[in-house]
Structure 1
Amino acid sequence: MADDSTTTIRATFQTREAADLAVEHLVQQHGISRPDIFIQSASDRNTTGSVPSGGDASHEDGARRDAPLAGEIEVSADIASNQVTAVQRSLGDAGGLRISSH
């Protein structure tokens, strides 16, 4: 009998760029559908991450100060239980800081 149970996996990222990369890993490497992946602030504040990245970091006057760097970004998805180890590795490779499943 196949185990078709699911588990929710979560990871936090310092930048939106890293969170977007993690989503691409989930979709392309693990076949998770984009509507099943959620990106949100890891806190109750609106944020683009905790450090500048991408266009925010390469602004001509240094890092932009108008982007809300108010905390980390959380990526979560419901995945098949047999994918947990591989998905944890992919999230870590993409820059995931705290990775948990339950």
Structure 2
Amino acid sequence: MSDSSTTTITALFRTREEADLAIEHLVQKNGVPRPDIFVQPTAHENSGGTAPSGGDRYHEDGPREDGKLTGEIEVSVDVAEGEIAAVQRTLGDTGAIHVSGRPLT
């Protein structure tokens, strides 16, 4: 999606679980096409976020300590101008710790 009224909304999440939930809601509730959603760690290394969650938290021997928690997970989505508020609300409702936007040029 790329036209003069397209904006990239970026959100940061503490856990991969929160980022995955946000993506699911963007696709299913907001109707955002999956190719318009991008996910990456903010750290130089691959990361599961800054806090353990889901399968990162425990295994059969107790708490896990082997997962890399070196930075937030960034989710960005390209949306039309009329979808900005709904997408920002969805990202906030699913645990984003920071949401920002910038118009695509």
Distance 2:62 2:98 in 1: 29
Partner of 2:63, secondary structure, is coil
Q: Which amino acid aligns with 2:96?
A: G
Partner of 2:28, secondary structure, is helix
Unaligned runs of 5+ in 1: none
- Checking the alignment, whether the CA contact within 8 Å between 1:10 and 1:101 is kept in structure 2 is yes
Identity of aligned residues (%): 58
The answer to whether 1:64 aligns with 2:92 is no
Distance 2:67 2:40 in 1: 15
TM-score normalized with structure 2 length? 0.88
Alpha-carbon distance, 1:63 to partner: 2.8
- Note the alpha carbon deviations across 1:24-63, whole angstroms, 9 max, x for none: 1110111111111111002222101100000111323433
> Matches of residues 84-99 of structure 1 in structure 2 within 5 Å?
84-99=84-99
Match of 1:53 in 2: 53
Unaligned runs of 5+ in 2: none
Alpha-carbon distance, 1:4 to partner: 6.7
Distance 1:4 1:70 in 2: 36
Number of residues of Structure 1 aligned to a counterpart in Structure 2: 100
Distance 2:14 2:21 in 1: 12
- Checking the alignment, whether the CA contact within 8 Å between 1:4 and 1:80 is kept in structure 2 is no
Alpha-carbon distance, 1:12 to partner: 0.4
Q: Which amino acid aligns with 1:82?
A: G
Match of 2:30 in 1: 30
TM-score normalized with structure 1 length? 0.90
Distance 1:92 1:99 in 2: 7
- Checking the alignment, whether the CA contact within 8 Å between 1:12 and 1:96 is kept in structure 2 is yes
Distance 1:47 1:33 in 2: 25
Distance 1:78 1:90 in 2: 14
Distance 1:45 1:38 in 2: 17
